[in-house]
Structure 1
Amino acid sequence: MSQMNGPFPPDFLKQCLRWKDYFTDDGALLRASSFELPLLEELLQTHGTIQEVDAIATAAFMRKCMTIKPYKHPVQSELLQDE
């Protein structure tokens, strides 16, 4: 999640009981090995089933659904209006 959406927001983490066991003060993972993931847009195009222009919009939609802070998740009616 953090590689796709960036680090967890510190105010969100501080609501978790054992956040210091797994995250630094700025929201980075403590014990994660470093590896590079391709961009979500690239992953969507890997098998040639989605064209670039559609992959960009699809990735943006997926990122909205994967927002880390639950209260920022869009509601169904907002998602239905997405391009």
Structure 2
Amino acid sequence: MKTYLIPVSGDPLPYPGGVLPAEGDHVEMDRFWRRRLRDGSVVTGRPRRDSVPRQAEPSSPAEAVKAASPRRKSGETND
């Protein structure tokens, strides 16, 4: 189960295999992270809205149709 964790110190938190950024990240809950929660090194939270990537809105109906259409590899036909 993945959970969004944030370091309490406000600084990046090294862990085996990577670094938890200061703004937090989704991590797979395991013994390491359960210990960090228990000892108060991290807290659960939610990602900031402005940090979640959003898809650009199509500027015209034609672009919306084009974006929704499946992409074909070059050389494919509608046979």
Range of TM-score over shorter length: under 0.3
Structure with greater proportional helix content: 1
Please report the TM-score for the alignment, with normalisation by the length of structure 2.
0.25
Please report the TM-score for the alignment, with normalisation by the length of structure 1.
0.25
Structure of larger gyration radius: 2
Structure with greater proportional strand content: 2
